[in-house]
Amino acid sequence: MSVLSAPTTPASAASTAPVDLGPASALSCRECGQRYPLGPIFACAECFGPLEIAYDLPTGDPEGLRSRIEAGPASIWRYAELLPVPADVATKPNLNPGWTPLVRADRLAAELGVTGGLWVKDDSGNPTHSFKDRVVANALEAARAFGFTTLSCSSTGNLAGAVGAAAARAGLRSCVFIPHDLEQGKVVMAAVYGGDLVGIEGSYDDVNRFCSELIGDPAGEGWGFVNVNLRPYYAEGSKTLAFEICEQLGWRIPDQLVIPIASGSQLTKIDKGLRELISLGLVEDRPYRIFGAQAEGCSPVSRAFKDGHEVIRPVKPDTIAKSLAIGNPADGPYVLDIARRTGGAVEDVTDGQVVDAIKLLARTEGIFAETAGGVTVGVTRKLIESGVLDPTLSTVVLNTGDGLKTLDAVAPTTGPTAVIRPDLDAFREAGLA
């Protein structure tokens, strides 16, 4: 396969010198395999397919690699040899996300009737309280390598906060774009780090379209949009969820994983991460099933899965799960492929079921999830009830964000059990003794 010169956009003019991004050797088109030098580009000039990172991975000595990983830092950088980052990444100013708990969820399992072992990968404890710190940390290294001075993104909320914080830590400017009507927790988190925050009057899909225009305009020159022109690097960060889950299970792939879908990038890269672990000999090659989770009010991938379609029909989102509210998901077709290839499924739940699931997870495991976590737990319950997810198999459910950012979802139905005078008679009258 020939290596074409990278197609340039105004924003890609930041640097064309060779870069050190560790084992990343080139960009490769997911559709036609055409290769390009590493650069701030994301679409194939031949067929417009998405570009992915091609690697020179450390093959041949899985035991040595495993030992180096296990001796590494308690962050995603323990996997630096498998990511598009320089070897000394952990010494650079960044938020050091990852290595979050894999919680054995026996009480939730009992409620759901799971007997094969149930775990929650709880990513709410990342530095800005969502899994987005993983992807942004990878994009930040690409931004540094290409000489960008402004970090940007189109966001459903969590990404904006993660970009603002990462830029602050790295000493870069940030300017992030969100739909104007997000939850207060997301807006405040996105603004507090001191960068520019722009609310767009429209949906996420409008925000994303606007950012694509900005990249092609001189106004966006020198800007690294983590999920647009840096998307190939950004997306690789989600592989670390697969790596951590397997390592935390004793270097074993679980039988079933339940993953939320917005653009579908995270789900697609978790599958890529699992396949890399197999090909490197770090885990046994055994079958696994991937399940995608959406909210009914924004379920274009679930709809296509159920209808047996290969294309996604875009929708106008209307759900409390705003972090997952992408009506035209870029990686939707790949999610369909993965769910079908692995014998999984894509399912959706109503907003009411999302709220019930948030409370169920909180009550049984002491984990307060944001609405995206309510979506995965709710979908897990629904798939068990419909006999699609096998309760006798080991299952990992992702919680990708913190409930404190989406208080509005549960506040109307959650509050004090009683409000009483400060005396014992009042307490007894309340029936709580």
Ligand X SMILES: Cc1ncc(COP(=O)(O)O)c(C=O)c1O
> Can residue 295 be called a binding residue for ligand X (CB under 6 A)?
no
Q: How many other β-carbons are positioned within 10 Å of the β-carbon of residue 180?
A: 12
Cα angle: 137, vertex 143, 146; to 5 degrees: 145
Residue 44 touches which member of Zn ion, ligand X, none, C-beta under 5-8 Å by kind: Zn ion
CB of 204 to Zn ion, least distance (A): 26
Q: Which does 261 bind (CB under 5 to 8 A by kind): ligand X, Zn ion, none?
A: ligand X
Nearest to 132 by CA among 260, 4, 33, 283: 260
CB neighbours of residue 221 within 10 Å? 16
Q: Among the candidate windows 37-45, 156-164, 242-250, 411-419, which touches ligand X by CB under 6 A?
A: 156-164
Q: Is residue 317 involved in binding ligand X (CB under 6 A)?
A: no
The only residue of 346, 372, 396, 410 in contact with ligand X, by rule CB under 6 A: 372
* Region 81-140 residues binding ligand X, contact defined as CB under 6 A: 130-132
- Residue 233 to residue 136: CA distance in whole angstroms: 9
Q: Which is nearer to ligand X, 168 or 346 (CB)?
A: 346
Contact with ligand X (CB under 6 A) among 207, 228, 258, 261: 261
- Tell which one of 9, 266, 302, 364 touches ligand X (CB under 6 A): 266
If one asks whether residue 156 binds ligand X (CB under 6 A), the answer comes out as yes
Which among Zn ion, ligand X, none contacts residue 159 (Cβ within 5 to 8 A by kind)? ligand X
> Site residues for ligand X, window 390-409 (CB under 6 A)?
400-401
For residue 377, the minimal CB distance to ligand X (Å) is 13
Contact assessment for residue 295 and residue 301, using Cβ atoms and an 8 Å cutoff: no
**In this structure, what are the phi and psi dihedrals at residue 383, rounded to the nearest 5 degrees?**
-70, -30
Closest CB 67 distance from Zn ion, rounded Å: 38
Please report, as a single letter, which amino acid is at residue 137.
A
DSSP, collapsed to helix, strand or coil, labels residue 117 as: coil
Beta bridge partners of 224: 151
User: How far is the CA of 163 from the CAs of 6, 91, 219, 375, in angstroms?
Assistant: 26, 19, 19, 24
Distance CA 36, CA 23 (A): 15
Q: Toward ligand X, which CB reaches closer, 19 or 163? A: 163
Give the shortest CB-268-to-Zn ion separation in angstroms. 17
CB of 417 to ligand X, least distance (A): 29
DSSP 47: T
Using rule CB under 6 A, residue 370 touches ligand X: yes
Structure tokens at 288: 């696994």
- Chain residues binding Zn ion by CB under 5 A are 29, 31-32, 34, 44, 46-47, 49
Residues contacting 362, CB < 8 A, separation 6+: 368, 369, 403
Residues that bind ligand X (CB under 6 A): 130-132, 156, 158-159, 260-266, 323-324, 370, 372, 400-401
